[in-house]
Each structure stands twice: as C-alpha cells, then as structure tokens.
Amino acid sequence: MQPIRRLAFVVNEQKAGAPKLARELMATARQAGVQLTPVVGFPLPEGFLRGFDACCVIGGDGTLLGVVREAAREQVPVIGVNRGSLGFLTTFSSDEARAHFAELLAGGYRIAERALLDCSTGPGQHDLALNDVLIKDEVNSRLVRLEVFAGTELVTDYYCDGLIFTTPTGSTAYNLSAGGPLIHPAADVIAMTPVCPHTLSNRSIIFRNDVKLHVYNRMESSRLLVAMDGQRNLTFCKGSPVEISISPLKLSLAQRVDYSHFAVVRTKLQWSGGAAAPSDPG
C-alpha cells in the first residue's frame, strides 16, 4: 500500500494508557518523517481530514465511530488502536501497534472497505452509520408499532421495543446482543433485528444491498427516536418514513496484512472448541 506521509491522531484521553501510547506512536511517526496532527476532540468537524493519508484512532470502538463520517467523506483510511474493551473496530492491540507501526507507516497494511448505512428521517435529516440504526420510542419503557417496507413491498408490522438495522460490521454490536446474526464484514447485506418483539416468530431478516427500507410509525401516541451508532440522534419528522439503505460511501479500515476476521471473533467472543483441523475423510 501507499506509505503514510501525513497522519491525524485522534486520542481518547479518558482511556487508560491512551495518551502514553499516543506519545510512543507519534515518536515513531516523527522518526519516519511523517507529518502529524494530534486531536483530542471528536466527532471530527466536516473537512478536517482533507489531505491526510490516514487517521490513527487510539481509544475504543466508540472513539472510532466518532471519526467515521469524516473519514468516509474524505476517503481517508482509519487505523484503530484499541484502548477500550472488546474493540471489534479498533483492530490493533497496543502491543501490535507498537511492534508494527513503523512497518504500517511504510505501507505494510491492507485496506478493508466497510459498508455504511444511509438514514433519512425527513427533509434535512440525514446521517451515516457504520454499525447500526436503532428506531425506538423516546420513552424506554414503551412499545412501538413499526411497519416496514422493502421498496414497495410490505415486509410486516412489528409490535416491539424497537428495530435495529445493522451493517455486517455492526452485527457484533447491539444486533448480537438482541439475538441477531453474526455477518462476515465482506457480505453486502443489511440485517434487521427486532428488539423484544411481541410476536415470538418475528426474527432477524437479511436484505440484499440494493434495497431501500421504509419504516412507518403506526402508533399515534408514540414519538420515535432514531439513533445512529448509539451516538447521534436524528429528529423524526411526523408523517415521514425513516428511510434506510446502503450508502455509496465506504469506510476504509487499515489492518495488518495477516489480519483474520474469525481469529478476532474467536478471541473477542471467547469461543471455545477443538483447534485441530478436521480429518481427511478420504
């Protein structure tokens, strides 16, 4: 890959060890002659990453989600270094970052393109999500009745706590907690998972990538909340459906050349089982 010559550093100083690690990695970058711009505030303002070769995020997945929109708009790869808990998006551990940062800056990485959800709740109300879009009532204890269309075709109506629309990347987040499926990041799909549906037969549905989903509020007494990546809320315009589709923009995530998605899933979710390869039936 192309060497990195201009690098933004987004550091979550609330994460233990993040400032110290940032100083170490920035020292490595300076030795390599890389131009640095450190940042401690996020989400990033529009246009901030213009002209950068990459953006290094030190924190947790929430920190990385704070740079997604700007990185996608400017097509700047994101290097995620985990100082949080699970860290599915921040794919480099602290030790991996220290050991491989000079190699990475020289071009020793690969790029994974991750799908984004495009969500609109009415005129002027529009945003992008890397993980998920959650639609629920503004009052946590109230059920909602939501009617879903895939294009012009009625899917069904749900009486539930809410609906989660997720990318493959976000399938390990709220979707997984709600009983939704794990989806490989390269799959070009949208998953819809009801939260605590009143009808037990309501389960997750997987839609192909070119679908436009329309969600209508069918309960007059309910005011909806539309949450993007659990960080930002869109105002719901009464009478307008929530529209969700795959964005033409992608997020570029920098990964080690030997990165394995399933190795990460096994580690993060603490899967167990025999490690031996299956025997040859022949």
Active site residues: 61
Round to whole Å and give the CA distance between 196 and 67.
Answer: 31
Please list the residues that pair with 193 across neighbouring strands: 164
Enter the tokens of residue 163. Answer: 């609906």
Tokens 């979707």, residue?
A: 175
The residues near 65 (Cβ < 8 Å, ≥ 6 apart) are: 89, 130, 131, 229, 230, 231
Contact 89, 171 (CB under 8 A): no
Enter the tokens of residue 38. Answer: 């450190």
Tokens 């997984």, residue?
A: 176
Phi, psi of 277 (to 5 degrees): -70, 150
Cα 7 to the chain's mean position, in Å?
A: 21
The residues near 126 (Cβ < 8 Å, ≥ 6 apart) are: 118, 119, 120, 234
> Is residue 212 helix, strand or coil?
coil
